[in-house]
Amino acid sequence: MDKLQQLPVTTGPQGGVSPEPGVASVERRAFGLPGVPAVLLWLGLAGGAAALFWSGLIVAAAVVAALALVALFGFFIVQPNQASVLTLFGRYVGSERRNGFYWTNPFTVRRRVSLRIRNFNSERLKVNDQMGNPIEIAAVIVWRVVDTARAVFDVEDYAGFVAIQSETALRHLAAQYPYDDHDGLAFSLRGNPDEVAEALGRELATRLRHAGVEVLEARLSHLAYSPEIAGAMLQRQQASAIIAARQQIVQGAVGMVEMALRELSEQGIVQLDEERKAQMVSNLLVVLTSERGTQPVVNAGSLY
């Protein structure tokens, strides 16, 4: 079970859940009245204060006017893809995600939190891969806030938290895989980009859930050997490519020679002893595996 689900919580006002020191916060809806009816009520309160004043009840008019002035600070607007986190005298009372014009307790402190999708492009980090080779790596993280209470109260700065944890996860990921797997038997950073991106996304989701952040996508944006070993590794890659190509050429040449000998024997075109077969195999392999075009020598005399 998730550790965050095992943390104790306490019941707060309005039937919600209130965070305690060291306990993960839980988002809930804040109390809020629709703004237009609240404006009508406020106009009625202001009109009552004016009526009392003209009636000569100065003290009552002053009290009502003061109430109207305080109530005026309870109006707030929530923009699309934003939320307002409300606290009352240092206590979390809820979050308002609904777009529009609202009125709430005028003594609450409201903090805006963006729910829009964001990109974080990490710096190029110089780390060592699983084989100890120094490499340069960077990633693009697509994320958004899904729990405003955790984002505001459980971390000091959720945007900075995303940046630091993303770089930490990227360093840890690079140390778990080699840059390249020359044998093709295991995962590598260069050879398995989809699997690497999935592993990075899982690790970031684990790290960033404490800040109420959801990771939508995580992919490597830069991957290269460090300059001090880039030349040597390029030669190694070229050598591996040449060896692989040579192996394929030799396998094909052996198959062609075998087919030629079998066809000659089955069709009875010519009878060759073991020595002539060996000479023919040698000549065919030279022709088929040579890097340059060979010049044939035509034998105009007897075969033997």
For the stretch 90-115, pLDDT in tens is 899 999 998 899 999 999 999 999 99
Question: Could you give the CA distance from residue 171 to residue 191 in angstroms, rounded to a whole number?
Answer: 18
- Kindly tell me if the per-residue pLDDT of 31 is higher than 50: yes
> Can you state the percent helix, strand and coil of the chain, rounding each to 5?
45, 20, 30
Length of the chain: 304
Q: How far is CA 42 from the centre of its chain?
A: 48
- Kindly tell me if the per-residue pLDDT of 116 is higher than 90: yes
Given this model, what pLDDT does residue 112 score? 93
Residue range 19-46: average pLDDT? 76
Given this model, what pLDDT does residue 33 score? 83
Question: Tens digits of per-residue pLDDT, 158-184?
Answer: 999 999 999 999 999 888 888 877 665
Given this model, what pLDDT does residue 139 score? 92
Residue range 183-201: average pLDDT? 82
Question: Could you give the CA distance from residue 190 to residue 169 in angstroms, rounded to a whole number?
Answer: 18
C-beta separation of 218 from 140 below 8 A: yes
Which range among 34-43, 93-102, 123-132 has the greatest average pLDDT?
93-102
Which residue shows structure tokens 């005298």? 89
CA distance readout (Å), 32 to 77, 92, 143, 269:
11, 14, 28, 98
Q: Which comes out higher in pLDDT, residue 70 or 234? A: 70
As a whole number of Å, the end-to-end CA separation of the chain is 84
DSSP, res 29: B
CA-closest candidate to residue 165, choices 115, 227, 215, 101: 215
CA-closest candidate to residue 68, choices 33, 87, 40, 93: 40
Confidence of residue 19 (pLDDT cuts 50, 70, 90): very low
C-beta separation of 193 from 179 below 8 A: no
Q: Which comes out higher in pLDDT, residue 130 or 5? A: 130
Going along 50-121, which residue ranges are E strands?
Answer: 75-78, 82-88, 91-96, 100-103, 109-114, 118-121
- Residue-wise burial string across 237-276, b where 16 or more C-beta atoms lie within 10 A, e elsewhere: eeeeeeeeeeeeeeeebeeebeeeeeeeeeeeeeeeeeee
The helix (H) or strand (E) run that includes residue 147 is none
Residue range 19-31: average pLDDT? 71
What is the pLDDT of the chain when averaged over all its residues? Answer: 78
Question: Tens digits of per-residue pLDDT, 222-279?
Answer: 888 777 655 555 666 666 666 666 677 777 767 777 777 777 677 766 666 677 667 7
Given this model, what pLDDT does residue 255 score? 77
Question: Could you give the CA distance from residue 83 to residue 81 in angstroms, rounded to a whole number?
Answer: 7
